[in-house]
Chains A and B, each alone.
Chain A
C-alpha cells in the first residue's frame, strides 16, 4: 500500500499544523517522521487513517483518494498505535481481541511474544501493566487486526533499550514482509536504524525528505 500526500494542509484556528506537505510513502518500506514537538508529526499519522481530514490537498492510497474508500475497512488496513497507551479491556487477552473478537488463544500468545511479553501476560489485568508493558500491549492489539500499514507514534517512548530494539525489529519485519510502516519518533537512533526514508517536519513544513540508510 503506497500513500501519496499531495499538498496537504491542516489548519487549527489560525495555526498551520501542516503546510502543503507532499510526500510518498511506498509499500514495503519504513518511513521515519522526525521533527520537534508540535511540528505536525502526529497529525500526519492521524490523516493517514482519517482520524483527521486535511483542510487542503489530498491523500491517495494506491492511487485512490482516502474519502473514496470505506473508512472502517481503511482503519483496519491502516493500524495506528497512539503515543499514549490507552487500554480498553480488563485483561490483556481481551485487550488484544477488541479489534478482532475471534482471535484464537494461540495468536494471542504469538502477538505477546512478538512484542516481547511472556505469554503468561494473557491473563494479566491491564490495570497492573507498567507504562512500557501497556505500550507493547497496544502495539500487539493493533497487530491483531493484521493491518497492512502500521503507523507508530513514539512507540518506544516508555520502553527500555532492549524493548526498543525489539519494536525496531518488529517494524523492520513488517516492512520487509511487504507491509508499510510509518514511524514517528524523537529517538533519532531508532529512526536511523529502522527507516528507509526520513521525513523531517518543521513547523508543519516538510524540510528535507531524504535517505536515512
Chain B
C-alpha cells in the first residue's frame, strides 16, 4: 500500500466547504434546516475524532479484550436505539438489546471460529461495528412492525386464542410477516451489491489502496455476515418480544397507544 493517497486534515477542512455550500442553499431556500445541519456536521466530526482517538488507544494497548468490550458497548447503544422503535411494546429495549447481542455474537463468533477473520482488535472492532449496525436495523424494524401488527391484529390473534391455540401458535403468522419485512432491506442490498452501489467496506479498501479483488473478497464476507446478523437479530428480537406480549394465561396484554 505504498501508493495510498494521503488525506490530511487540510483535506478534511476543505471538504467542510461542501457543508457550507449546503448550509447556504438551505438558508437561501428557507428550509429551516441550517442550525440542524451545522450541529449534525460538527457533531459528526467530533464523534469521529473521539472514536478515532479511542481506537488508536484500543488497537495499541488493549488487544482482544478491549475490542470485545468495545463491541459490547456498541451492542448496548444499538439496543437502546432499536428499542425506541418498539414504542409501546413492553420491555422493547431489553428485547432489542438481547436480539442485537444474539445476532452479533453468533455472527462474529462464527467468523472467528471459521478463521475468516483474525482476532486482532483492528479487525474485530470495524467488523463488529458493521455487524452490530446491521443487527440494530433489523431489530428496529422488527419491533416497529410488531407493535403495529399487534395493535391492528388483536381480534385476529384473540380469535385464534379462542380456539385453544397457544400464544406461540396464535402469533406465528404475524411473526412470519414481521420477519419477512425486517429482512427485506438486507436481502435487497445483497441482491444489488456492486450493481447499484459500491458498498462501504469495499469503497474504503479501494480508497486505501487495496487491490480490488481483495476488496471484493472482503465485501462478499461483509454481505453474508450482514445477512446473518440481520436474520438472527430479527428472529431473536421477535421471539423475545413475543414473550412479553402474552401473559402466562396465553393472553395478549394491553398495549399503550402508539406514540
Instruction: Mark A residues whose CB is within 8 Å of B.
Output: 49-53, 67, 71-73, 75-76, 79-82, 84, 86, 88, 98-99, 138, 141-142, 145
Whether the pair A51, B163 counts as a contact (CB closer than 8 A) is no
Chain B nearest CB from A13 CB (Å) reads 11
Q: A82-B155, A82-B158 are in contact. Are A142 and B163 (CB under 8 A)?
A: yes
Whether the pair A84, B155 counts as a contact (CB closer than 8 A) is yes
The count of chain B contact residues (Cβ–Cβ below 8 Å) is 14
Chain B nearest CB from A204 CB (Å) reads 19
Which residues of chain B from 147 to 161 have any CB-CB distance to chain A below 8 Å in the complex? 155-156, 158-161
Q: A50-B249, A67-B249 are in contact. Are A75 and B161 (CB under 8 A)?
A: yes
Whether the pair B159, A82 counts as a contact (CB closer than 8 A) is yes
Which of A67, A98, A141 has the most chain B CB within a 10 Å cutoff? A98
Whether the pair A88, B250 counts as a contact (CB closer than 8 A) is no
Whether the pair B250, A72 counts as a contact (CB closer than 8 A) is yes
CA distance A73 to B162 in the complex (A): 11
**Interfacial chain A residues near B161, Cβ < 8 Å:** 51, 75
Instruction: Mark B residues whose CB is within 8 Å of A.
Output: 155-156, 158-166, 249-251
Partner of B163, one of A53, A67, A141: A141
Look across to chain A and name the residue whose beta carbon is closest to the beta carbon of B249: A71
Partner of B156, one of A67, A88, A142: A88
A/B interface sample: 27 pairs, CB < 8 A? A50-B249, A50-B251, A51-B158, A52-B251, A53-B251, A71-B249, A71-B250, A72-B164, A72-B166, A73-B164, A75-B162, A75-B164, A76-B163, A79-B162, A79-B163, A80-B162, A82-B155, A82-B158, A82-B162, A84-B155, A86-B155, A98-B160, A98-B163, A99-B164, A99-B165, A142-B162, A145-B163
CA distance A81 to B250 in the complex (A): 18
CA distance A84 to B162 in the complex (A): 13
Chain A nearest CB from B167 CB (Å) reads 9
Look across to chain A and name the residue whose beta carbon is closest to the beta carbon of B162: A80
Whether the pair B156, A86 counts as a contact (CB closer than 8 A) is yes
